[in-house]
Amino acid sequence: MRRILCLVLLSAFLPFAHAQGSGTVNPSTQPYPLGYYPSAGSAISPSPNAQFNAATGYTALKLPRVDVTHTDFGNVTGQIASITITGTATCTGMPTVTVTDSSGSPTIKAVASAACVNSQVQSPLTILVHGVGYVTPVVTLTGGGIGGMYTATANLQTCSTPADPTGASDSTCAFWAATDYAYQGSFSGPDSYTTLYVPRGTYKISQPWIVSCNVVIRGDGPYASTIEQTTNTANGIDVMNTQVFPSATEGFPLASCEGGLRDIGVTTQGGPMHSGTLLQVIGAGYELENVNLYNSGGYGLNAVSGTERMRAYNLQISDVRYSLFGPGNEGHFYKLNIDNPETSTTNTNGTSDGWGSNCANGTSATNYMGACINWDWTGTMTLNAASSDGTNGYYQVSCAPAAQCILGNGSTSPVYPGNWFNAEGSSITGLNGTFQALAVLNGCSQASGTTCTTTSSTSFVVVTTNTSTGSNTLTSPTWKPAFVPETHPGVALTGFNVEVNGGSIKAVRNSSCVTVFNAQVVTVQNVYCENAPVNGQPGLGPSIVVNGVVPYTLLTSGLPGSNSCTAGDNCSATVAGGTANGSQWMGNVEDSPVFENAAGSFYIYPPDYNPSSSSPSIVPGVNQNQREEVIGSFAGNTFYVQQRFGIGGVYPAWTSGSYLQWLITNTFGPELTTEANHFETINPGNSSYFTYCNDSEGNSSVHQCGMDIMGALPDGVLVFPVGIAGAFSQGATSLMSINDELIPSTGSAAEILGEGWIKCNQGCNVVASSADNIQQNGETSNVSTGLVSNGGVYPLVAAVKYSNGVYSTLSYSNPSYGAGYSYNGASNSYFFENQLYKPYGASSTTLLGSGPFGSFPYGHQFANADCWYDVGPSQGHAQYRMCDEGGPFYTPSGTKGGWEFDIWNGTSWVSAFSVRDTGSNTANLTVSGTLTVNGVQITAPLKGTSAAWNNSGTGIAANTCVDGPTAAITGLTTSMFVGVSPAASPGAGLQWSAYASVAGTATGRVCNVTSASVTPSSTTYNFRVLQ
């Protein structure tokens, strides 16, 4: 973290340089040739690979190595410590401060902005810039309405001692002096990269060590040479893309940043109280090798402001809140090990301090680490009483036996204010459920508000906001600490062409494993992500998150309605959260800070934002469903805007209370590939705890659980589910999972808990394949509700259903099993097909039965309709299709399933042949053309029906026949066979036949075969003709 008191460095947008060094050692006066390694007694020490030459000492090699502990670096001047303004310097905005050397052609050494307070430039201005070499620095102030009579003077700092490997004295100045010495023009240039050597030891620094990206820092090992930052708000090492030769204002091409950090460790004295960054890389390419970053409440590695081409080998980050952010475009990590993200080694109690969704109230300088749910107990929690006064709910709980409870007594709660708990068994429905603790009163049995009114040595009271009222009784009551899903990333990856290849991220008790956003073509492979539960506590951190919770905060001052966002004007606003330990909090992500890395695109929304309302908001000229896109960045608790896009050509004056949302969903093309990873971060815990997972609570899904979570999670504030009128699209996400192990830790696959599941929000494209040995089962009608289980093979995939009844849109395929699934959330339409070829599981015969040639039902399974299409001629429309039709849509009691062949008639599909279920275990065959059986053409029979006939009521004499009923039949000839059947019996003793009496007419003949006259009953006669 760059710490500038009263001076805001704009290094993310303006070149920020190291000046040339200053000191008692001048390389031009050294007795040895440049580039040679002299004896160990001088500032430049021998390279381990140098060869001794009797004439010159050591042979010349590529890299001179500067030893930071050499005594020549004591009593060195040239470090700018501050800039003092004498006289009166008036201002109307933020003046630009420029530091140059005093040569005939001045070289700019640094550019920054000064604070304008009460129309005067604030003095002194603290600035962390290395020495200005062997010249006197010149300070000028321009812009910002600067005026008055004043003098600006650079105050130089003098080092009293060299770097101290014992840690007894501060080594900051000596590090700066050694760096300045290495920056001398005779040592550094476009093709010369000096090594700063840090011998074995622990070196304490109190301000950041700022180096150029073309310098190598090397120690004796990641656990041997350690740099310890003692100032809680300061960074450890800042790597800048600045070029000290030939001009400090010219940044290196990223391909020329050939420096690196090797065989060294960086830590802090303050541990969780430290809020800076251990290693920050700013707009530079840099290489890390055998580096250990550990024990900080801020960031481990933070790559910001256009950093590209970072590469890291064997990077270890331990006990750091935000372990890794970056690395920017073309960043590659090989063997990345992250231990205990969102924790710190200096916890007062390893089971109760940390950060994360289950660790609350960790945002103040006096209590930076949050109080996590305590799992250091094995007793039984008993809910003794539950009540509500219409404002608060009160839960009296005890733990027994005391020896198995926290602190060895039954009156200490395992949850703290801000943690969650679950209570059941009350006759007042509103007292049952999962709640967030407002207050926790240990050693208490009764309370009023947040005050204990009756003490107890055997119980505690947990208070929550609750408006329930009524008489209450308890039936089989339970009370459990509740764990909610983690929204904090252990590793945050952003950029194009990013790779993490090999490593371990665990134990992720207070975070997710990897979060990807604003990214494209990211690969995570051969990484072990694990929860590693302790004493049965649950773990609900996903292994992979793409986008996830979208951060936002609030403006606490107005942003003027201006589009002249240039340096020195008032195009800025303060934001909520202040600078707690130097961080800027984004309140919706449960204390997720935004440091300088939150630079880029943002949206500003009115305080009364409503996506479905076009009514005027409280911001003049802005409707409730409108927002403005801006580009900017944070510095402290101020958000600076560099570009505004306006709303319809108007630049609103945003009021205090307006929302500021970070745009993290900006991507296109393939986004993330995961391969051969072990993902086991979700664990339901034992029965002493409650796991609270909910895919959709109203318009919010922030408590969604899943092994992989895709898409922006609706928060009901700025991000809303699909289907909400006027809600802004959050874009689609994409994932390819290859041979990843998502097998649930408990062997079950509870969808709500998310074990083994990929959850899709908004819109997702997912491809997953694996070569595991899990048995396949058949699919169920769950495919009609956005769920697909790959026939029982992990991963399981779900299109999340929101509270408005609308699903996310999911496109999914699994080449390993020939599976394809498409779910359109807007229309609730879906398609599914799966190939069955692996030995089935226990439920397969229940769902599919046995195959015709064996016990396993080999083949395919589909949902609704599965059609094959030909390729149309001359790039035209397909001519033919063949479709299987079945459940869940087609059922015996509804629309009947079957098979059909269709022909395109130029405007629509026409059924030519079909076999369809009748609903009674039989099928009907329909053919629109000619049927040939065994070489014989079978055509459809001609047919006709006569009028009702009864021989005009006259009897038919005994043993006599009469011609009676007739029917006109088109196409009938006298050579055709005609059959006839009455619709009802005409009477006993009568028989009938038919013939073609003339072309087009069929005549029925009725015969009386009895010995007495019979009068036929009136009925119609049906004629059928065989051609």
**237-254 tens-digit pLDDT:** 988 876 443 333 344 455
Residue 714 has which token pair?
Answer: 């609706």
Q: Check residue 102 and give its pLDDT.
A: 64
Q: Check which CATH number belongs to the domain holding 479 and give it.
A: 2.40.30
Q: Check residue 300 and give its pLDDT.
A: 93
Considering its fold, how many domains does the chain have in total? Answer: 5
What are the two backbone dihedrals, phi and then psi, of residue 18, each rounded to the nearest 5 degrees? -90, 135
Helix (H) or strand (E) holding 1025: strand 1021-1026
Residues 965 and 874 in one domain: no
Residues 764 and 805 in one domain: yes
862, 854 contact by CB (below 8 A): no
Is 372 domain-assigned? no
Contacts of 297 (CB under 8 A, 6+ apart): 270, 271, 272, 273, 274, 275, 321, 344, 355, 368, 369, 581
With H, G, I as helix, E, B as strand and everything else as coil, classify residue 364. coil
Residues in the chain: 1027
Q: How far apart are CA 350 and CA 359, in angstroms?
A: 12
Q: How far apart are CA 384 and CA 477, in angstroms?
A: 8
Question: Confidence band (pLDDT; 50, 70, 90) for 181?
Answer: confident
Q: How far apart are CA 1027 and CA 975, in angstroms?
A: 9
Is 223 domain-assigned? no
Q: Check residue 263 and give its pLDDT.
A: 97
88, 122 contact by CB (below 8 A): no
pLDDT digits (tens, 9 = 90+) for 892-937: 888 889 999 999 999 999 999 999 998 888 999 988 888 888 888 7
Q: How far apart are CA 806 and CA 801, in angstroms?
A: 6
With H, G, I as helix, E, B as strand and everything else as coil, classify residue 981. strand
Burial class from Cβ neighbours inside 10 Å (0-12, 13-18, 19+) for residue 106 reads: middle
Is 317 domain-assigned? no
Which of 837, 863, 889 terminates a domain? The answer is 863
Q: How far apart are CA 992 and CA 1009, in angstroms?
A: 11
CA 541, 545, 550 angle in degrees (round to 5)?
105
Q: Check residue 790 and give its pLDDT.
A: 63
Q: Check residue 50 and give its pLDDT.
A: 37
Residues 728 and 640 in one domain: no
Q: What's the Rg (C-alpha) of the chain? A: 40
Residue 783 has which token pair?
Answer: 């495919």
pLDDT digits (tens, 9 = 90+) for 450-489: 999 999 999 999 999 999 988 789 999 999 999 999 888 8
Residues 884 and 855 in one domain: no
End-to-end CA distance of the chain: 94
Q: Which of 211-215, 637-641, 863-867, 930-934 has the highest mean pLDDT?
A: 863-867
Which of 483, 507, 542 terminates a domain? The answer is 483
Is 92 domain-assigned? no
Is 769 domain-assigned? yes
* Average pLDDT score over the chain: 81
Residues 947 and 932 in one domain: no
Residue 764 has a CB neighbour count (10 Å cut-off) of 26
Please give the average per-residue pLDDT across 713-730, as a whole number.
90
Residues pairing with 574 in the sheet: 638
Residue 222 has which token pair?
Answer: 């990641």
With tokens 């226990």, the residue in question is 842
pLDDT digits (tens, 9 = 90+) for 373-417: 888 899 999 999 999 999 999 999 999 999 999 999 999 999 999
Is 16 domain-assigned? no
With tokens 């305080």, the residue in question is 607
Is 695 domain-assigned? yes
Burial class from Cβ neighbours inside 10 Å (0-12, 13-18, 19+) for residue 991 reads: exposed
E-state strands within 374-419:
380-388, 392-400
With H, G, I as helix, E, B as strand and everything else as coil, classify residue 951. helix
With tokens 């769920």, the residue in question is 787
Burial class from Cβ neighbours inside 10 Å (0-12, 13-18, 19+) for residue 246 reads: exposed
Look at strands 539-540 and 682-683 and give their pairing. Answer: antiparallel
Look at strands 829-836 and 819-824 and give their pairing. Answer: antiparallel
239, 174 contact by CB (below 8 A): no
Residue 765 has a CB neighbour count (10 Å cut-off) of 18
If you write DSSP's letter for every residue of 609-676 in order, what string do you get? --TT--SB-SSTT-BTT--EEEEEEEETTEEEEEEE--BTTB---BPTT-EEEE------S--EEEES
Residues 392 and 460 in one domain: yes
Residues 615 and 700 in one domain: no
Residues 789 and 858 in one domain: yes
pLDDT digits (tens, 9 = 90+) for 337-381: 999 888 765 444 434 467 778 887 654 444 455 678 888 899 999
Q: Check residue 271 and give its pLDDT.
A: 86
Residues 562 and 705 in one domain: no
Asked if residue 63 has pLDDT above 70, the reply is: no
pLDDT digits (tens, 9 = 90+) for 414-445: 999 989 999 999 999 999 999 999 999 999 99
Q: How far apart are CA 532 and CA 521, in angstroms?
A: 30
With H, G, I as helix, E, B as strand and everything else as coil, classify residue 472. coil
With H, G, I as helix, E, B as strand and everything else as coil, classify residue 854. strand
C-alpha dihedral, 842 to 847 to 848 to 850, nearest 10°: 40
User: Which amino acid, one-letter code, is at 136?
Assistant: T
Q: How far apart are CA 276 and CA 236, in angstroms?
A: 8
Comparing 206-210, 368-372, 628-632, which segment has the lowest mean pLDDT?
A: 368-372
Residue 202 has which token pair?
Answer: 């622990």
Residues 595 and 628 in one domain: yes
Higher pLDDT, 561 or 628: 628
Question: Confidence band (pLDDT; 50, 70, 90) for 20?
Answer: very low
Residue 536 has which token pair?
Answer: 């049965």
Q: Check residue 136 and give its pLDDT.
A: 66
Q: Check residue 215 and give its pLDDT.
A: 84
Please give the average per-residue pLDDT across 637-649, as a whole number.
87
Higher pLDDT, 852 or 58: 852
Residue 843 has which token pair?
Answer: 């439920």
Helix (H) or strand (E) holding 370: strand 370-372
Residues 855 and 718 in one domain: yes
Residue 804 has a CB neighbour count (10 Å cut-off) of 15
pLDDT digits (tens, 9 = 90+) for 725-774: 999 888 889 999 999 988 665 544 578 888 889 999 999 999 988 876 66
- Domain enclosing residue 442, as ranges: 380-483
Cis preceding-peptide flag for 507 (omega within 30 of 0)? yes
With H, G, I as helix, E, B as strand and everything else as coil, classify residue 130. coil
Helix (H) or strand (E) holding 845: helix 844-848
Q: Check residue 771 and give its pLDDT.
A: 73
Which of 838, 863, 888 terminates a domain? The answer is 863
Q: How many CA atoms lie within 13 A of 607 on its CB side?
A: 14
Q: Residue ranges of the alpha helices (H) in 136-214?
A: 172-182
Residues 858 and 902 in one domain: no
Helix (H) or strand (E) holding 464: strand 460-465
Residue 305 has which token pair?
Answer: 């402001």
Question: What's 888's DSSP letter?
Answer: T
User: Which amino acid, one-letter code, is at 959?
Assistant: N
Is 285 domain-assigned? no
* Cα 596 → chain centroid: 20
Asked if residue 308 has pLDDT above 90, the reply is: no
Q: Check residue 307 and give its pLDDT.
A: 85
